[in-house]
A and B are shown apart, each in its own frame.
Chain A
């Protein structure tokens, strides 16, 4: 087991190195440079050159890359041009906001999705199944940003139950209930599609498992139906559900970009969009590398979890 985890960790190193190269090259190759973005209308060649010299962007590319990589390895992500603060501070702050949002949405969609899938499967073609299937198809079909805007219009502008945007109240507030009020709409909007996908897959996996012999055996020996479904069938079905959860976690994380724009959630997706538009090279590079490292890490965790759950892979 330990050997497996170690092997997976070592194999992540070239992946991460490749990511640093790709993101560096992309930022170097796209037209426009930070000096022009900062200077806007005043970007005369003279001013651009002066600013690039100040920012160290007049060095050869390879040298820039090596300096950046060397600093990165020492935990120094550099300083953002556009925000005038250390990249790592900004990335960590933004990423924790995204984690709160995406984490909540992920927990929400996992619980609701699995619950809905199990209920659907247990009552195949019943009223509950049909209702859930209908809701799921509607949920999957509505783009999350549109749903978010409609929620704002209804719950915030019309009913005034919940705040329109942001993470905390601008005056007072700042405590957990305040956070939850701000989190409710974006987390729900973000979780809807993933909930639908998970529900559909759980339903399929459950139906397959429920037809198998060991379920009949369990029922035949008089086990309570609740234990048959939640204990035996769900555990077996989880083997095919967990990889989907892993994929959905990634989906929720990347889908957070739209939701963060709509709800002005101070997360990392919005940060990256702004940073790209402003050609804030170090912030884009630092942010992408950080997110990529998280993805790689998350995939390792999922693989290990699957390894533990499924004896066939363990062999």
Chain B
């Protein structure tokens, strides 16, 4: 009988232990504190040194801690004054002179002056600079046109470029152009990225690795005090967990909501925010060999693929159909007259028949993921089916992102007929200049992996880069877009709309077309 008593007790202990979670679970509300904004980020930041990072995820923090000489005006990609109150451009477009805002100081107390600005660019660009070793500075080539930068007087700084380079101003508005405190760099050296100091609306407070980055309000901000007392950035890499945290109230705002999860946030407790950005998802077509060497077949691919269905069904409305090579977010440079290629399989078949490319075998490079690639496998499969409808026999080859880039960037010749690709840029110059010019073929160090070549497009892009007049540049870009759309070196598929969800406690939040996250005026109660 001792026997049965023993096991009954043993069983009891077992059950009790199994229920341990329930006893521990004192009901708690996961609510976040008032006046403290908690942001669900997609990854741990690499560094809070704006010159050392490349990821949008890091930019989201940095844009709230630092300012640049210039910035994008709210809701646009137009450049407006920030730390510089104004600037002068020489007639030949090679000398830029900035007047600095007076009375601004860094969070560490040191003053923002022309010498500080010079230090920032010298550190990035001059390999002999005593603090160049605090890098690497992967995007310093944004300023590779800068020949000299000098302090004319404490309130004036002058950049001399080695050739006219129109994207210079918008590159200054990019996070790589944010201004850091030289005193803090000197004090912390390579650890500056974990002890940052800028001039922005929030000052850095704490970074607990893999848990949170905390920034607190800068009461002396030159452009008015921030609405929140502090912002906490939490890295939550798994999208499902991020959604669960949002539903449970553990975060106030999340970015990059998976399309399938959007339906969870329909309701009064949440609000969903959307904003189209300078993003293009496209297919590179191999214009050098195979069926796509014929322009009619490339146009046929544009007619054959049902972009509206991709955007509505695969991406659940988180993107818009693209018309040409330039995203509409660059409103000043975008050609409104362009209409997307309509979905018209009959027309596609006719063009293919005309070119004699019926039933061709195609190799299609598809990536498993990657920055800006949205849902590449599902999209690739849908595209394969659309191309099969017009008689192409498409073979998909799928690669992990870095491997994929290693296959695509050196050019598609001898390997594939089409490949997925996506770009997000800060100036209408960047993508076509790096990926559509004849001088941007892979063997010349560019990204024109499909070997498109049109001398007129080359001329237009060179001229637009050299011009300092925005209207003139816009006219050149519009003409370029029209030619490229007709030549169809790519299948223009989608422009991604960035999305975010906030809880109903958050007001005054909007997304920017730059995809940066600006939190100064966001309120939480």
A: residues with CB less than 8 A from B are 30-33, 35-47, 50-51, 54-55, 79, 82-85, 90, 93-94, 97, 111-112, 115-116, 118-119, 122-123, 126, 128, 132, 149, 152-153, 155-157, 159-168, 170-172, 180-181, 184-185, 188, 224-226, 229, 261-264, 266, 270-271, 274, 277, 279
Contacts and interface: CB of A to CB of B under 8 A. Distances in A.
A124 to B, nearest CB: 10
Contacts of A126: 7
Interface string B14-50: 1001101100111111101100101000011011010
A114 to B, nearest CB: 10
B395 to A, nearest CB: 20
Given A160-B28, A165-B236, A184-B24, A84 B193 contact: yes
Interface string B39-71: 000011011010010110000000000000000
B399 to A, nearest CB: 8
B2 A164 contact: no
Contact of A31 (B30, B194, B402): B402
B248 A41 contact: no
B358 to A, nearest CB: 35
Contacts of A185: 21
Contact of B28 (A35, A161, A225): A161
B405 A51 contact: no
Given A45-B445, A161-B25, A82 B241 contact: no
A40 B138 CA distance: 10
B138 A266 contact: no
B447 interface: yes
Contacts of A149: 240
B169 interface: no
Given A55-B136, A111-B17, A164 B238 contact: no
A260 B159 CA distance: 48
A172 B38 CA distance: 13
A170 B236 CA distance: 12
Given A123-B7, A170-B232, A226-B2, A184 B52 contact: no
Contact of B136 (A54, A119, A225): A54
B17 A166 contact: no
A171 B232 contact: yes
A262 B11 contact: no
A37 B446 contact: no
Nearest to A226: B6
Most chain A C-beta atoms within 10 Å of own C-beta, residue among B29, B209, B407: B209
Given A122-B7, A157-B247, A164-B248, A170 B405 contact: no
B290 interface: no
A264 B33 contact: no
A174 B32 CA distance: 15
Nearest to B230: A171
B86 interface: no
A132 B401 CA distance: 45
Nearest to A115: B14
Contact of B209 (A93, A224, A270): A93
B405 A43 contact: yes
B406 A31 contact: yes
A279 to B, nearest CB: 6
B515 to A, nearest CB: 13
Contacts of B44: 83, 274
Given A32-B405, A225-B2, A261-B238, A266 B248 contact: no
B424 interface: yes
Query: Closest 4 A-B residue pairs measured CB to CB?
Result: A32-B402, A266-B210, A161-B25, A31-B403
B402 A170 contact: no
B250 A164 contact: yes
Contacts of A159: 25, 27
A211 to B, nearest CB: 16
B81 interface: no
Given A84-B46, A274-B237, A44 B244 contact: no
Nearest to B142: A42
A164 B7 contact: no
A55 B118 CA distance: 25
Contact of B30 (A115, A118, A164): A164
A79 B402 CA distance: 21
A163 B27 CA distance: 10
A199 B248 CA distance: 35
B237 A261 contact: yes
Interface string B339-376: 00000000000000000000000000000000110000
Contact of A32 (B136, B403, B434, B445): B403
A171 B30 contact: no
B445 A160 contact: no
A122 B238 contact: no
28 contacts: A30-B403, A32-B400, A32-B403, A33-B402, A37-B402, A42-B141, A44-B446, A47-B141, A83-B47, A84-B194, A93-B209, A115-B14, A116-B14, A122-B3, A122-B10, A123-B4, A128-B10, A155-B25, A160-B29, A161-B25, A161-B26, A161-B28, A165-B244, A165-B245, A170-B250, A171-B33, A266-B209, A270-B237
B238 A262 contact: yes
